[in-house]
Every structure is written in C-alpha cells, then in structure tokens.
A and B are shown apart, each in its own frame.
Chain A
C-alpha cells in the first residue's frame, strides 16, 4: 500500500509538484494519469526515494519513505521511465544483479530468476546480451528485474510507451495477475485508453497537482462527460485555466 500526503517538490524556482495526496491500495491497480509535464515522474521518483520531497509525507506499507528510503525501496518494484539496461549484460545477469543487491541468497536467486524467465516467457532471450533487444524484450528484462525481490508494491512509469500490441497485452495480463495476488500496483500513463482498460482507481494530475481522484465511473460522473477521455481533457484544461 502506498500513501502520499501533501507532497511538494521544487526545482529551483520551478514548482514541479505541489500538495499531491493520494492512496494506492493493495489488490488494486491505481492509475496516475496526466499529460506530459504534469509531475507524474517526479511524484514516482519521490515515491521510490531517488528524490526527496520538499514537503509532505510518503508511506510505503508502514515505512516512512522519506526517513527510511532503503526500507521503502525494499518493498517496491520499479519500472522506471527509460529502462536503463546494460548493453553488455545478458537478460539473466540483469535480473541476478538487482536480485543480489536486494540481498537474495545465490541459490534462491537462481531459482527466482528461472521463475521470472518463465513468467515473462523470456527463456529464449535469457542468455543473450541486451544490446540488440527489441523494445518489448527490453521491457520484459526491466520488469523481471523490478520483480526479482517479490515486492508487495509495483510502480510502473509509462510502461507501455512504444510497446506493440502483443507486448502491451502481455504486460497488462501480468499487471492484472499481480493485482489478483493482492499486490499494490501504481501505473502512470498519459494514454486514456490504457488507464481506463486497466485501472480500478484513477488519480488525475495536471500542472503538478491532483485535479481529480476516483474510479472511472466516479470521474465520468464528476465531470459530466460520458467518455473518460473527455473527462480527462476537461480536468486538465480546467486546471490550466485556473493557473492562468
């Protein structure tokens, strides 16, 4: 479970995120929806503790992520924006590197790696260097790497960007499966269909603030629009006018 409370972040004089609060529950997929530059990635970066907020509180399960970043990171699996793979390591070595850093014993790590290679259907590419991988294959490596320590919470930053239809579908299935296992999945996207197809609950961000929260149905009701896309546009637009 993830709880963010009144979080703010400034870069110099620019306010990237301000007063952001929301909750992502266990056993649910929460969508973080917003146009580019809305502050989604900054919010996630504070969540997975590579950035410190200027104000507010972040809790991952029962851990204060600001005070104990490493304890929070141990409970998080993260697929960051841009996977950052090592071209000279194989898929298997990627998984094992991060697993070892999480403190998994070598014998258990080998078994866990095999399990993930099976789960993500990666046996064919397991021992190839990632240098020539397709976008879909790279996504799988990054996802396997994020799941190696069996985290209770999963953060995905625009995971379907640039993925083909088959890979997107495979990714959705895995995310659903993780949800059904009772995990907390937080999913950022700027693509409406994506979020409406997958998410149990949606947080809409624009210009560094949360402009709406709720289930897809609640959002439609709140804005008076039938389609979620129209709802989203009116929410983002509303905010822009308020800031003018």
Chain B
C-alpha cells in the first residue's frame, strides 16, 4: 500500500519536473542546440567530402612548359575528366596564392632526358597544408605515375624484357568490411552525437531539480510533504531520464532523415537508419540515459551550489565523448567485456547497429543490465544524500 503511494508520489514529482523544465526557454534552447548540432555537423562534413570527390574527378591541370612534353600533355588530355591548360608564369606563387590547386612544371631538359631514357624531371607544385585540394593533387600524381608505368613497360618490351620482371610482388587488397561498416567508420560521429544528446538532454533537470531546487530554497518546503525521500529522488531521476530519452529520439530521428538526403553514394558508402535500426539504437541508449541521469543527479546533489553543479556537468560532458574520441585514436573492436562497461557498452552497441552489424541479444542485455544496476545504486546514493541535513541545508 505504501509502495503504491510512493510510486504515485514519484510520478507526481516527475510530472512536475518535466512541466517545470518545459517552461524553461533558455534550457530548452541549449538542449535543442546540442541535440541538433551533431547531425547538422555530420551532414555538412559529408557534403564537403562528396564535393571534393566530385572536384577530384574533374581535375584542372595547368602545365608550365606545355610545348616541352607534347606526348605527355596529349596523354593527359585523353584521360577522363582532365582539363589541361597553359600554366601561370610563376607556378609556385600561383599555388601559394591559392589561385591554382596544383601546377605541373616541365623543365627545359625534359625532352632531352626523355629520349635518352634517363629519368625526365616533372615538378608537381602543390600546397600540402590545403586539405580541400588534396584529392586533385592525388589525382595528378596518380596520372603521372600511370604514365610513367606505361612508358616504362613499353621501353622494356622494346628491349625484350617482360614488364612483369620488375614487379616481384603482386599486391592484392581484399576489403572485408561491408559498405555499411565503412560508412559507420566515417560516421563514427553519429554514435557520439547520440550519446551526447542523451547526456545533455537529462542534464538540465538533473541539476535544476536538485542543486537548483536547493539553491532557490524550494527543497525544504518540498520535503515537508509526507513522502519518502526515495520518491522525491526517483521522480527527479525519472524526469531527467525521460528528457534524456526524448533528446536521443530526436537526434536519432534527425540523423535518420539526414542520411536519406546526404550524397552518400557519391562517397561510395551506403548508410541507412531504418525504423528497425532506430529500435536497436534506443535499446542500446535508453539504459544509458537512466544511468547518466542518475549520475548527474548524484553529482549535482553533492555540489555546494547550482553553479558548482553546472561546472561539474561541463567536466562530466567528456564522459560520453570518451569512447568515441578514444576509438579514433585506438581502433577499438568489440570485445565482450566492453558491453559490461557503462558508456563504453552503449557506444560499441551503437557503432555495431549503425554499421549494419548489430551485436547479439546478450550484448544488449549485459549493457542494459550494467547501466540499470549502476543507475539504481546511484539513485540509492542520492536518496541517502537527501536524508542528510548537511546536504539539504547546504545553502
């Protein structure tokens, strides 16, 4: 009977906290910003990458000394998507000023050395600090390499040597990752952003309803109501968790929409977030939301002031970013123990799901179980803190 009553009180507290925070315009904007920024950033970056691919396919090659190597220039003209033009007077200055992405310089002694079968010099002028022109420069280098190989083979055939003799190795690359996995690698940001959304979404309520409530002096009147402390804490925790889950749903839905409009085919990857994916994503992240909301509430309750709580949250923000950041430095696989680590487990699950290789049911269960267990422990700790006079009256 008392349990039913406490549960009802938990729901009453939860409803009030949600209503209260929905009216907090500034907090809503900051949540919306952190939820939207991720997918939008990814969309922007993907568009840039696709643009660059397209640019590289259509490469403009200014050549200085265009008359000195008519055969090479003709060959370049015959290749797909090239446009050979007369080069600028000062090639290096033109590249430095970013007027040209790349300039080919053919020195005067090119023809002389070429006909006597000595390495003929060709200068590729480029600026390696410019990321945006790198594909174009790469394309020009590859073209020159290809031309060199073709001429080399011809020369050997003329001398009665098989071109195969100078290729002792035949390197074959076998790519085993699926297209979706490659997509997930490029889109490692999406799991990170989903996790950050879950983290940020609950932060406002977790701090405002604990440290904020105490600082405004409304905690004491609240605690005069005949309800167990656990009901107050659970209600606040539940409200923060629901807000976190809502943010996750929002980010996921937005990412799903964006992947539909992104020029992913142009980059050669396929990525799709279907309704079934969304289900799996939520299975991976919802338990994490319960955990992060509980963690935030505990830390905010321990903080001496609202401001202090907020600065702790800033530091804590690194936690959901950590697995994503580390994985870009050390490619982490999916070892079974990882599922049992809070935050890391959901991250590994997410990369699996978004990469088109969802882990087994047991992985989901282990990850959810650990998150829930830690969340319940943290709620208990917070409840204990709420019984402490030093915490309640720390104003």
Chain A residues in the interface with B (C-beta under 8 A) = 45, 48-52, 69-71, 73-74, 76, 78, 80, 82-89, 93, 97-98, 100-103, 129, 142, 145
Does chain A have a CB within 8 A of B218?
yes
18 contacts between A and B (CB under 8 A): A48-B224, A49-B224, A50-B220, A50-B389, A50-B392, A51-B389, A73-B225, A76-B224, A84-B217, A86-B216, A88-B23, A88-B24, A89-B19, A100-B12, A101-B12, A101-B13, A101-B226, A129-B23
Chain A residues, Cβ within 8 Å of B218 = 84-86
How far is it, in angstroms, between the C-alpha of A136 and the C-alpha of B232 when the chains are bound? 29
Does chain A have a CB within 8 A of B266?
no
Chain A residues, Cβ within 8 Å of B181 = none
Chain B residues, Cβ within 8 Å of A69 = 226
Known pairs A84-B216, A101-B12; A73 contacts B221 (CB<8 A): no
Residue of A nearest to B216 (CB): A84
Q: How far is the CB of B11 from chain A (nearest CB, A)?
A: 9
Chain B residues, Cβ within 8 Å of A103 = 5, 8-9
Chain B residues in the interface with A (C-beta under 8 A) = 5, 8-9, 12-13, 16, 19-20, 23-24, 216-228, 389, 392
Q: How far is the CB of A116 from chain B (nearest CB, A)?
A: 16
Residue of A nearest to B223 (CB): A50
Instruction: Indicate if the CB atoms of B228 and A50 lie closer than 8 Å.
Output: no
How far is it, in angstroms, between the C-alpha of A101 and the C-alpha of B220 when the chains are bound? 14
Q: Which of A51, A78, A86, A102 interacts with B20 by CB under 8 Å? A: A86
Chain B residues, Cβ within 8 Å of A98 = 225
How far is it, in angstroms, between the C-alpha of A78 and the C-alpha of B8 when the chains are bound? 22
Instruction: Indicate if the CB atoms of A89 and B20 lie closer than 8 Å.
Output: yes
- Given A78-B221, A88-B23, A102-B225, 19 further pairs, Cβ under 8 A: A45-B220, A50-B389, A70-B227, A76-B224, A78-B224, A80-B224, A82-B217, A84-B216, A84-B217, A84-B222, A86-B216, A86-B218, A89-B19, A93-B19, A100-B12, A101-B225, A129-B23, A142-B221, A145-B221
* Most B-side CB within 10 Å, residue of A48, A52, A84: A84
How far is it, in angstroms, between the C-alpha of A242 and the C-alpha of B216 when the chains are bound? 38
Residue of B nearest to A75 (CB): B226
Chain A residues, Cβ within 8 Å of B19 = 89, 93
* Most A-side CB within 10 Å, residue of B23, B218, B222: B218
Q: How far is the CB of A34 from chain B (nearest CB, A)?
A: 20
Q: How far is the CB of A114 from chain B (nearest CB, A)?
A: 20
Chain A residues, Cβ within 8 Å of B225 = 73, 98, 101-102
How far is it, in angstroms, between the C-alpha of A49 and the C-alpha of B221 when the chains are bound? 11
Instruction: Enumerate the 10 nearest inter-chain pairs by beta-carbon distance, A residue then B residue, closest first.
Output: A84-B218, A70-B226, A84-B217, A73-B226, A101-B225, A88-B23, A82-B217, A74-B226, A84-B221, A100-B12
Instruction: Indicate if the CB atoms of A102 and B389 lie closer than 8 Å.
Output: no
Q: How far is the CB of A7 from chain B (nearest CB, A)?
A: 15
Instruction: Indicate if the CB atoms of B224 and A73 lie closer than 8 Å.
Output: yes
Known pairs A85-B218, A89-B19, A145-B221; A97 contacts B392 (CB<8 A): no
Chain B residues, Cβ within 8 Å of A84 = 216-222
Instruction: Indicate if the CB atoms of A50 and B24 lie closer than 8 Å.
Output: no
Q: Which of A87, A102, A129, A142 interacts with B226 by CB under 8 Å? A: A102
Q: How far is the CB of A87 from chain B (nearest CB, A)?
A: 8
How far is it, in angstroms, between the C-alpha of A101 and the C-alpha of B13 when the chains are bound? 8
